[in-house]
Amino acid sequence: MTSVAIAYHSGYGHTAVLASAVERGALEAGATVHLINVETITDAQWELLDNADAIVFGSPTYMGTASSAFHKFAEDSSKRWFTHSWKDKLAAGFTNSASKSGDKLNTLQFFTVLAAQHGMHWVNLGLHPGWNTSEGSEHDINRLGFFLGAAAQSNNDEGPDQVHKADIATAEHLGRRVAETAGVFARAAA
Ligand SMILES: Cc1cc2nc3c(=O)[nH]c(=O)nc-3n(C[C@H](O)[C@H](O)[C@H](O)COP(=O)(O)O)c2cc1C
């Protein structure tokens, strides 16, 4: 069985809803999943990351990049960088912000650079863009048309219970895809 860890931060709960969706998707695909809030990460949870086949990074987009709590986690991960202990794990990512764009791409790109610094292999979203034809709608999966990872948009005046269903479905897809890809890598290595 493959192991997927989700290392995420959420200041106000919206990104946490997406983290749970990634978890559901990975569970559906048969992985063992560990959901880890990086703001309160413990030594035991660092070990779960060390033992995972894949780590999915998740953060809200704050001021055009990942949150400061996520950046602290990224800096703290430099201890693993020294020993290359996350090398050849899979990595993927998701983010959420109030605006349709909101500069979320920069957050996903930051995750890819973090993954590359660790020598990890990036798993992209693997979906065509939704909501980009006359017959498309905001209910399409991948409605915001990202490729690098799962991106969500949550209105500033609504709570986590209103996170868009299409964005939740997109995050579930990412979880499934990461778990399935981890299975492919595990079989190839066996
Ligand atoms: C400090 C701060 C900076 C933000 N910067 C952005 C931004 O750059 N782009 C954007 O679209 N939304 C921005 N937002 C809105 C958040 O991304 C949005 O409220 C998101 O749903 C918060 O996720 P969370 O509930 O998981 O913390 C910002 C919010 C805060 C608190």
CATH number of 3-189: 3.40.50.360
**pTM assigned to the model:** 0.99
Predicted ipTM of the assembly: 0.99
Q: What is the distance between the alpha carbons of residues 179 and 29, in angstroms, rounded to a whole number?
A: 6
Give the span between the Cα atoms of 187 and 190, in whole angstroms: 5
Q: Is the CB of 159 under 6 A from ligand 1?
A: no
Residue 135 has a pLDDT of 97
Instruction: Give the start-to-end residue ranges of the domains of the chain.
Output: 3-189
Average pLDDT for the chain:
98
**Which atom of ligand 1 is the closest one to the Cα of 10?**
26
- CA–CA distance from 28 to each of 1, 72, 76 (Å)? 12, 31, 31
20-77: per-residue pLDDT in tens?
999 999 999 999 999 999 999 999 999 999 999 999 999 999 999 999 999 999 999 9
User: Which residue, by CA, sits nearest to atom 20 of ligand 1?
Assistant: 97
- pLDDT one-digit tens code per residue, 132-164: 999 999 999 999 999 999 999 999 999 999 999
